[in-house]
Structures are given as structure tokens and as C-alpha cells.
Copies of this chain bind each other. A is one copy, B any other.
Amino acid sequence: MSSNSREAILAAAKLTAQAHGYSGLNFRDLAAEVGIKAASIYHHFPSKADLGAAVARRYWEDSAAYLETLLAESTDPAACLRQYPGTFRKALESGNRMCLCSFMAAEYDDLPEPVKKEIRTFTDINVAWLSKVLVAVTALSPEKSEPRARAIFAAITGAQLMARSRADVSLYDALIESYRAASLLPA
């Protein structure tokens, strides 16, 4: 068992943050979901900022691992790229949530610095992955693939936001399809 609560707290905080952001996180609700008292969370995380940073860090670590697995298990980078938008679709599917870091990007100015840092890292990892895959898939040079990668990531973030505010996953799919039709994303 040892420190199982820590994992439970991280998991619950992730779900809440995906739906209500960093400011939507509160120790009492979080504790209730985990089955402990609010004060006990401080045993695992010294402050809300630490908890937020830990959640965001875990989030990009998992994302990075998933993206690397995707590339490692496939011989076709183009197929990986096609799957990429789907990774952001999952959150929308279950409970109209969205990518933790896309959400927190909106709150960015009000975030504690440690949390900001993890959010930036999430973006950087995604842009780097996209850029790498774009070089393999398209005729884009490394210098041109990075701006393109950033554009794709930003556009996907926007698609999540729009689909979420209509509580309509199919709108997300339609937007991604439009991005392909407009050749922002390779078809």
C-alpha cells in the first residue's frame, strides 16, 4: 500500500482540473473523492501550487510516454500523425473534459510559477513530437516544420475549446476534418 493516497489524489485532481481548471481544484472536494480529510492532503503535497504542478507534470509525462510508444510501435509516421488528434478526443468523450494543459493555458496568468512551468513543458513536448513527425511525413524542412507544428497544436486546442462549449464531440471531429481539408494537417 504505502503511499497509495498520493496516487488517488493525483488521479482525482487530474479529472477535476480537466473539467474546472486549477482554480476549480479545492482540497475539501478532492479529499472527499479520495476518502480522506482535506488537511491530510498536505501530508502528500505541501501546498496547492505543489499539487497543481505535480498533476501537470504527471500529465505531460504520461503524454510524452504515450507519444513515444505510438512512434515506437508503428513503422508508419503518417499513421501516427493521423492518430494524434484522437489523443485529445478522449477527454471530450468522457465527461466533456479537455486537455488539462489547454485548460490551464486560459488561466495561465493566475497560475503559480511551478504550475506554469509544467504547462509550458507539455506544449513544448507536443510541438517537438509533431515537428519530428512532420519532417518524416511531409516535405517540410525542420525549420518550417516547427512553426507548422505549433499551428497544429494551437488549432487542436481551439477545436477542443469549441467542441467543449457545445458539448459536442462530433464538432471536434468536424473541425479536425476541416483542418485536413485545408491542409493544415496532412490528409
Query: In the complex the two chains form, is B165's CB within 8 Å of A123's CB?
Result: yes
The distance in angstroms between the C-alpha atoms of A165 and B102, with both chains bound, is 10
A132 interfacial contact with B, CB 8 Å:
no
Query: In the complex the two chains form, is B103's CB within 8 Å of A106's CB?
Result: yes
Residues of B near A57 (CB, < 8 A) are none
Query: From DSSP, what is the main secondary structure of chain A's interface residues?
Result: helix
**Contact residues of A with B, CB < 8 Å?**
19-21, 23-24, 96, 98, 102-103, 105-110, 116, 119-120, 123, 147-148, 150-151, 153-159, 161-162, 164-166, 171, 174-175, 177-179, 181-184
Q: Which 6 pairs from chain A and chain B are nearest by CB?
A: A158-B158, A151-B178, A154-B158, A106-B106, A157-B158, A182-B184
Given contacts A105-B164, A119-B165, A120-B165, 8 further A-B contacts (CB under 8 A): A102-B161, A109-B164, A148-B181, A151-B155, A154-B158, A157-B157, A182-B182, A182-B183
